[in-house]
Structure 1
Amino acid sequence: MKHDKIERNLGILAILTMLAISAGGMVEIVPLFFIKETVEKVEGVRPYTPLELRGRDIYIREGCYLCHSQMIRPFRDEALRYGHYSLAAESKYDHPFQWGSKRTGPDLARVGNKYSNEWQTQHLIAPRSLVPQSVMPNYPWLIKNALDYSDIQKRMLALRTTGVPYSNSQAEYERNVTEFGADVAKQLHIPDAEKNLIGQEQLNNYDGKADQVTEMDALVSYLQVLGTMVDFKKYADDEFVKYR
């Protein structure tokens, strides 16, 4: 009956509740102060290039995350359908992350290079032309809209304040060369953002149109990089990979 007295006394109940919350919080939080890194270091994970970054912004703007998650859970059925479960390190440069909580469409964590650029473009323009049962809306304006990248440097600078290692000086550039290699470091250098964005689009021509950089170029470039940074062949002994 002691719990009955506690439940009837608002003051004692509030104090005991706070103590319980404090104890639980300490158990959860204190160990993190003694861990050097809470996210494991995984080779290959890098920040997005300027074009991929703008594509991610469009992905968020169009609400794609409302129907597609980017988090493969560590269950056999998930591995069979999508591949290796998502690693925390894969989202270390995502602000905000795109894990999602609902799947009307498939998970996109491993969609990169699964389909061609042409397929992705057509699927975004008219999904049911490729997947008759799809309930996905059409996005025809993406291939018509010229991509606005006038503020790409500001977007990268904003992410830099959150810890994303975009470089804005020669010293930071050299650091990225050591960390990611020269080719990636060039893409992460903020002063060259516009040039790098245009160069990536011209090299890959994601939407099949050579006359301008479109929002379609940016979005497809983002989709095509998802899940491609980590070489999961190194995880060949993982019990979830063997079901692929």
Structure 2
Amino acid sequence: MRRLYFLIFGLLVLCVGVFTISELSIRIAGDTVPSPGLQPYSEVALRGRQVYIENGCLYCHTQQVRPLGIDSPYLHGTRPSLPNDYVYDRPHLMGTERQGPDLTNIGRKYLGAEGAVQLSMLLRNPRLQFANATMPSFDFLSDRDRSDLVVYLQTLGAWKEPYDGPIERWTYDYLRDVPNLTQETIDQIDGLTEARQVTTVNVLMLVWFGLAVVLPFFLAWRSGQFRDLEAPALQLSQQAENPTDPRAGE
């Protein structure tokens, strides 16, 4: 009977492992596809990103816009964040505190050469633009570091499609409402959506299979059927341990 228990347990572990690996592989494949329009950082932007990290900007600024009304000031004419927006971020800089504004789409606010000048001035003396700013001055940065940081900030969200629909729709169907989409972009959206649908099906199959395997044995255990099966084996075991001499009664 113990062998049967081990066999059942082993099969259950094997099935859970197979489904888990399948689920993770599909999820990883889906989440490593960049969002439509997203491009790898340029060399200059990567240097600016490193300046951003080294100076602790991520401790006061987030890079994640949630589908909530309180985050609408940070949309700057585009949509909330999606997982595939961070494909090229290693490590991601989403942050957890907002001592300053969210910077996810800041590149859509400060555009072109004029925007670069404004960002550079903001880094030198934040209170020239915002009297109550708590951000410290980064005037100590070298010209190159400040220029690289400005380039990095201008890339954030600049690649996104314009969007002015409801932000509560937390799905890739956002992008279907964007006019003049190319067929390539539509195919990318369909691929991302399909990957998540397959992931959901895998999870449901795993739950169903687990219930199908575990529930019958649980019900049998509760009804005492296993104890009935074990009783004859237990009697034989006891007789083997305490054999009786058939001539003892003569």
Tell me which interval the TM-score lies in, with the shorter structure as reference length: 0.5 to 0.7
State the secondary structure of the residue aligned to 1:219. helix
For residue 41 of structure 1, report the CA deviation from its aligned partner.
4.3
Aligned CA RMSD, in angstroms, stands at 2.8
Relative distance call for 1:33 and 1:62 in structure 2 (3 A) is same
**2-structure distance, mates of 1:229, 1:129:** 29
For residue 230 of structure 1, report the CA deviation from its aligned partner.
1.9
Kindly provide the CA deviation profile for residues 152-177 of structure 1, in whole angstroms up to 9, marking residues without a partner as x.
xxxxxxxxxxxxxxxxxxxxxxxxxx
Tell me which residue corresponds to 1:197: none
**2-structure distance, mates of 1:134, 1:27:** 51
For residue 81 of structure 1, report the CA deviation from its aligned partner.
1.3
Task: Structure 1: give runs of 5+ residues left out of the alignment.
Answer: 1-22, 147-213
Tell me which residue corresponds to 2:91: 96
**Percent identity among equivalent residues?**
32
For residue 32 of structure 1, report the CA deviation from its aligned partner.
2.0
Tell me which residue corresponds to 1:81: 73
Give matches, 1:1-244, under 5 Å: 31-35=23-27, 37-39=29-31, 40-78=33-71, 80-83=72-75, 84-115=79-110, 116-142=115-141, 145=142, 214-233=144-163, 237-240=165-168
For residue 105 of structure 1, report the CA deviation from its aligned partner.
0.3
Q: How many residues align?
A: 149
TM-score under structure 1 normalisation? 0.54
For residue 53 of structure 1, report the CA deviation from its aligned partner.
0.7
Kindly provide the CA deviation profile for residues 56-101 of structure 1, in whole angstroms up to 9, marking residues without a partner as x.
00000100000000011121221x2111211111110011001001
Q: Give the letter for the 1:125 counterpart.
A: R
Relative distance call for 1:29 and 1:131 in structure 2 (3 A) is farther
Work out whether residues 32 and 38 of structure 1, in 8 Å CA contact, stay in contact via their aligned partners in 2.
no
Work out whether residues 68 and 105 of structure 1, in 8 Å CA contact, stay in contact via their aligned partners in 2.
yes
**2-structure distance, mates of 1:108, 1:117:** 15
For residue 225 of structure 1, report the CA deviation from its aligned partner.
0.8
Runs of 4+ in 1 over 3 A off after TM superposition: 23-30, 236-242
Q: Give the letter for the 1:38 counterpart.
A: G
For residue 232 of structure 1, report the CA deviation from its aligned partner.
3.4
Higher Cα radius of gyration: 2
For residue 35 of structure 1, report the CA deviation from its aligned partner.
4.7
State the secondary structure of the residue aligned to 2:29. coil
Work out whether residues 66 and 102 of structure 1, in 8 Å CA contact, stay in contact via their aligned partners in 2.
yes
State the secondary structure of the residue aligned to 2:123. helix
Larger helix fraction of residues: 2
Task: Structure 2: give runs of 5+ residues left out of the alignment.
Answer: 1-14, 169-173, 178-250
Q: Give the letter for the 1:42 counterpart.
A: S
Q: Give the letter for the 1:141 counterpart.
A: F
**2-structure distance, mates of 1:81, 1:100:** 17
Tell me which residue corresponds to 2:4: none
